[in-house]
Structure 1
Amino acid sequence: MKLQICLFLGVTVFCVSTADFSPPVVNISLDAPAYQRWAPLKNLYDIDFLRKAAAEVIDSTVPKWVHEAVKPIVKALEKYIPQPYAGEIQGMASFYGTDIADIVLLNFAYEVSAFCTSIVTQDTKGNIYHGRNLDYPHDVLRNLTLDVVFIKNGQVAYRGTTFAGYVGLWTGQSPKKFTVSGNERNKGHWWENIISAVLLKSSPVSWLVRETLESAVDFQDAVVRLAKVPIITDVYYILGGVRAGEGVVITRDRSGSADIWPLDPLLGKDVAMKALNATGQNHISMDSLYKVLSVNPVCNRITVYTTVMSAATPEKYTTFVRDMCM
């Protein structure tokens, strides 16, 4: 597994991935009651497929004996889950036709098994571009990936990329404000994270992303929120803004930030850094950033999707489901 985070200037122009495809797009109304919001998924997916896919993710992430032992406890967690997520999870369980405990476990399972690469970069004109690969060791997720447009008062409030059945976001954009991705730090078992959520009233990392996308007024406000709000496990938050220099990696502990690393043209990591240095700042674009994220092993056998985005041009938000990265 790998974790790469890069903030620097420069890109490459080669690609090694084929057979990528665009995920479905679903509109979710934030004005609708929470338990009804995700009902549009029924128009996109066969319910039996969703139920089997959720079981596959849970069974491959959570040991079966632990799953059975924790089910009664997870049911009790329902009263600890804040709104709107409690209502959304209840609605999800209803149209899945499954135990709410399974949907809760599914959401926590996603919190602890992601491996990612994120890049924030800037061109010669000061335009900020943000790209990310999200890796999960579950092939079925390629058929569950979707772009979600969250609508409030008839307007696009924010958008992101997620999986059917998962109410959180690891990738998102608040138009004309900022972009954000979360990279797991691979710390903490899922049951430790559930305890943190209950006893410490901490937020799952993907829920904080969603809340920040909905509430933050600008890039700086988003940085403060993502650096300070208690979360259930360690994570990297990567943000891009709309002005030159607005790029940052926040290294998070459960209680607060351990480090904040600003955009720097001289710093970067490993393969992605070499790829980005291959041609230079003059060639940065959404397309070239996608090509950087297609270089092996940045893109690999468990890469589920690649998203490229720029908050200054929110209409260009694009996700590709990766069918094969060799």
Structure 2
Amino acid sequence: MKLQICLFLGVTFICVSKADFSPPVVNISLDVPADQRWAPLMKLYDINFLRKAASEVIDSTVPKWVHVAIKPVVEALEKYIPQPYAGEIRGMASFYGTDISDIVLLNFAYEVSAFCTSIVTQDTTGNIYHGRNLDYPHDVLKNLTVDVLFMKNGKVAYRGTTFAGYVGLWTGQSPNKFTVSGNERSRFIFFIFVRSSILHRFYYVFIPTDKGHWWENIISAILLKSSPVSWLVRETLEAAVDFQDAVMRLAKVPIITDVYYILGGVRAGEGVVITRDRGGSADIWPLDPLHGNWYRVETNYDHWLPAPKRDERRDVAMKALNATGQNHISMDSLYKVLSVNPVCNWITVYTTVMSAATPEKYTTAVRDMCV
């Protein structure tokens, strides 16, 4: 992708990308045994690369001494993981040729730090568009990103974007029903300033700290029977019959840590941000187009609180949306909003735009670099 200059409200935001690319697409059959479902990944990835990437994610999230100490515990807890995830994780361990504890830790490690921007919008004719940037501080994930078509009886039951080795979903679509994305809910945000050698300017990456440590999340999942946030997304995509049903499920089912669930439907007004505590919803923030609220922007903090001074993602996204206008919003223009700096930033792994009413237009781009 070439250098793009996007003009919004008289301010020029420069978006640079050296080589954005589409991730591979893989079909995963829900009709085969759980421990065999993810076998198609082996045709896409070198096994040594997968092992190395998994170790990098685990080691950067879970301290090595804890990793060693927790292995026997994780192996004991594996029997309590519900189906189909237990079978799928067991199959992953077999494909990887590694201990099942590594794959369990890998899946819980991904639950820790999903820094994101999600936007749901409605145009003037009632069409709903949903876009998200997913940010993780692991550069290797760009080469692990994969679009998955979950097949049942030969048809697409639902689809999503995830990472090889991870059975959950942070981004997904149930065709002609709803779209969903998940954002980490953070209490504080720390900043690291990085000097760009390209434009000779300083930029920041933001590192939200979630409410629960990873070991608290595991205890919550196993002992309290709470769902990992990404597993609940996947379960909702498979089971919910429509947008309202999806909202109810994502608002009420106990989960292991706080999160934001953002949903878009197929009818006018079907857009919402659900702010979640572990036990239930803390707030439900729907679209209100009759009063001019034709979009909702969610990053990593509660919408009723002021944004941290040095994290401009929310404000910049809103300015870009206002400049675009409701009469010009579309999947293409929403992608441009999500490409504006710092909405798209140094740790953005991928951007997805989707609309449940036109499921064939689901599009993901892995971002090489946004500055």
TM-score, normalisation: structure 1: 0.94
Distance in structure 1 (CA, Å) of the matches to 2:343 and 2:316 = 7
Do structure 1's residue 34 and structure 2's residue 58 form an aligned pair? Answer: no
Q: Distance in 2 between matches of 1:5 and 1:254?
A: 41
Question: 1:244, 1:183 → 2: CA distance?
Answer: 23
Separation (CA, whole Å) in 2 of partners of 1:243 and 1:13 = 33
Q: How many Å apart are 1:285 and its aligned residue?
A: 1.0
Contact 1:234 1:253 in 2 (8 A): yes
- Distance in 2 separating the partners of 1:106 and 1:6: 38
Render the CA deviation track for 1:126-185: whole Å, top value 9, x for unaligned: 00000000000000000000000000011100000000000000000000000000001x
Mark the CA change 1:75 to 1:9 in structure 2 (over 3 Å): closer, same or farther: farther
CA contact (8 A) 1:12 1:276 kept: no
* Aligned equivalent of 1:260: 284
Q: Which residue of 1 aligns with 2:126?
A: 126
Asked if 2 retains the 8 angstrom alpha-carbon contact of 1:12 and 1:277, the reply is: no
Given that residues 7 and 13 in structure 2 are in contact (C-alpha distance below 8 angstroms), is that contact kept between their aligned partners in structure 1?
A: no
Distance 1:9 1:155, change over 3 A: farther
Q: What displacement does 1:267 show?
A: 9.9
Q: Contact 2:6 / 2:14 at 8 angstroms: preserved in 1? A: no
Once residues 245 and 44 of structure 1 are traced to their aligned partners in structure 2, the CA distance between those partners, rounded to angstroms, is: 40
Cα distance change on mapping 1:7 and 1:254 into 2, 3 Å? farther
Contact 2:28 2:37 in 1 (8 A): yes
How far 1:270 sits from its partner (Å)?
A: 1.2
TM normalised by structure 2 equals 0.83
> Within 2, Cα distance between the matches of 1:11 and 1:239?
30
List runs of 5+ in structure 2 lacking aligned partners. Answer: 185-209, 293-313
Cα distance in 2 for residues equivalent to 1:294 and 1:157 = 30
Q: What is the distance in 1 between the residues matched to 2:73 and 2:33?
A: 26
Q: Distance in 2 between matches of 1:217 and 1:73?
A: 37
CA contact (8 A) 1:3 1:116 kept: no
* CA RMSD, Structure 1 to Structure 2 (Å): 4.0
> Post-superposition, which runs of at least 4 consecutive aligned residues in structure 1 deviate over 6 A?
1-14
Corresponding residue SS for 2:88: helix
Does the 8 Å CA contact 2:130/2:354 hold for their aligned counterparts? yes
- How big is the shift at 1:17? 3.6
- Return the offset for 1:77: 1.2
Cα distance, 1:113 vs structure 2: 1.4
**Given that residues 35 and 92 in structure 1 are in contact (C-alpha distance below 8 angstroms), is that contact kept between their aligned partners in structure 2?**
yes
**8 Å CA contact 2:134, 2:350 repeated in 1:** yes
Q: C-alpha displacement at 1:187, in angstroms?
A: 1.6
Contact 1:7–1:247 (CA<8 Å) still a contact in 2?
no
Question: Do 1:236 and 1:252's aligned partners in 2 also have CA atoms closer than 8 Å?
Answer: yes
How far off its partner does 1:204 sit? 0.2
- In the other structure, the counterpart of 2:296 is none
The alpha carbon displacement at 1:3 in A equals: 25
| Alignment CA distance shift 1:10-1:129 (3 Å) | farther
Provide structure 1 residue ranges, at least 5 long, that are not aligned to the other structure: none
- 255-264 vs 219-228, which moves further: 255-264
Contact 1:228 1:257 in 2 (8 A): yes
> Compared with structure 1, are the counterparts of its residues 3 and 22 closer, same or farther at alpha carbon in structure 2 (3 Å cutoff)?
closer
Q: Deviations over 1:186-235 (max 9, x none)?
A: 22110000000111010000000000000000000000000000100000
The answer to whether the aligner puts 1:64 opposite 2:56 as a matched pair is no
Contact (CA 8 Å) 2:159, 2:172: kept in 1 or not?
Answer: yes
> Could you give the per-residue CA deviations for residues 6-56 of structure 1, whole angstroms, max 9, x where no partner exists?
999999998544421000000000000000000000000000000000000
Per the TM alignment, residue 279 of structure 1 is displaced from its structure 2 partner at its CA by 2.6
Counterparts in 2 of 1:10 and 1:154: CA distance versus 1, 3 Å = farther
Size of the aligned set, in residue pairs, is: 325
CA contact (8 A) 2:16 2:369 kept: no
| Residues 128 and 3 (structure 1), Cα distance of their counterparts in 2 relative to 1, 3 Å cut | farther
Quick one: structure 1 residues 251 and 240, their matched pair in 2 at CA, closer, same or farther if it must change by over 3 Å?
Answer: same
Structure showing greater Rg: 2
Rate the CA distance shift 1:20–1:2 in 2: closer, same or farther, 3 A. Answer: closer
- The answer (yes or no) to whether the contact 2:2–2:18 under 8 Å persists in 1 is no
> What is the CA deviation profile of residues 260-298 of structure 1, one whole-angstrom value per residue up to 9, with x for unaligned ones?
000135999411101111131111111111000000000
Question: d(CA) in 2 for partners of 1:8 and 1:209?
Answer: 34
Give the Cα separation in 2 of the matches to 1:11 and 1:101. Answer: 50
Matched residue, 1:281:
326
CA–CA distance in 2 between the matches of 1:9 and 1:200? 49
Aligned counterpart in structure 1 of residue 260 of structure 2, from 225, 229, 236: 236
Structure 1 261/46 Cα, relative in aligned 2: closer, same or farther at 3 Å?
Answer: same
**Higher RCO structure (Cα 8 Å, ≥6 apart):** 1
Task: Compare 244-253 and 4-13 and name the one that shifted more.
Answer: 4-13
Superimposed CA distance per residue, residues 62-83 of structure 1 (whole angstroms, 9 cap, x where no aligned partner): 0111111111111111111000
CA distance in 2, matches of 1:9, 1:176: 35
